Amino acid sequence: MNSKKVNWLFTSIIILNVLVIILAALYPEGISIGMLPALLVSQAMIFVPAALFLVFTKTKPSDLIQMAKPKWSLSLLVVLITFMIMPLITAVNALSMLFVENEVTNMQALFLEVPWWLLILVVGFVGPFSEEAVFRGVIYHGYRRSGRFVAAMLMSSVLFGLMHLNFNQMSYAIVVGIVGVLLIEGTGSIFYSILFHATINTSNVLMMLSQDPATSSMDAAQTQEMVESLMKMPYREAMCVVCAVYILIACVTTSIAGCLYYLILKKEGRTEHVRLLFAKEGKSAVREQNQKIWSWPLVISMVLCLIYMIAEIALIK
């Protein structure tokens, strides 16, 4: 297992997703399979290539996806950290909305066509499990073997953002990825990264389900009109105000999350482990010397993602 192989995995995921999108667009009468099957297919296009990757590289899942018996005390702390991180995620989301539309809002009406319990199951649990297993399990730990912790954390998080194929979700997905990696290193188990991700998704689904049906069916233009009406100012100015407010809140809550994270490190005896990861002299126990994270397949797949996202914005306008 090395970074080049991991890059090929990400490339295969992106190529598969783009091919499916193109084929669906070229289909004469269009393809409509419903939101629930679409959600499951999207997760399969992430999880199946990773599973095949492990088979072909003869890698045991346990070598990359570390799982330990969950602890109630740690689980509670992780849930608290999640809620403290949410204002930061909201601030980043609002900042992205100054330039692009909110993708989740645009699909809200379709999401609500799915029975509530299935929506929670798929979005709240299936999605976080498959995405964490692939991006914080296989991809992150594949890069981690280079011994370059910060590069591995940032690269796996950026790739997780790019996988969403839109700038809006990409922005806060990177934040989710970074926090997920820190939780894995702070606890020694991917369970808490999955719990963090699942708590975010489930909270968002519950908020979506609690909204007025008339509000949830609004498109982007109608949402902008509602924001302007409520805040008595142009949409961009309103979003700047929202960003400023949430950034201030996030400064406080993210600091609290940092304190809770330090408590986890002390509780698990991993303070020195994480400190060494950030230190220049910190080395992974499985470091492979002179291993580069970048390769041409990775560059090509990242450029392909950016071209697709830019083209999508151009077509909408």
Q: Is the pLDDT of residue 80 over 90?
A: yes
Residues 6+ apart with CB under 8 A from 272: none
Instruction: Report the C-alpha gap between 270 and 289 in whole angstroms.
Output: 25
Please, which pLDDT band fits residue 85 given cuts at 50, 70 and 90?
Answer: very high
Q: For the ranges 32-36, 138-142, 156-160, 162-166, which has the lowest average pLDDT?
A: 32-36
Question: What's the pLDDT at 29?
Answer: 59
The pair of three-digit structure tokens given for residue 79, joined into one six-digit string: 């849930």
Mean pLDDT of the chain: 89
Report the share of the chain in percent with pLDDT over 70: 91
Report the share of the chain in percent with pLDDT over 90: 62
Residues recorded for the chain? 317
pTM for this one?
0.93
**pLDDT tens, residue by residue, 263-303:** 999 999 999 999 999 986 545 444 444 567 888 999 999 99
Q: Is the pLDDT of residue 103 over 70?
A: yes
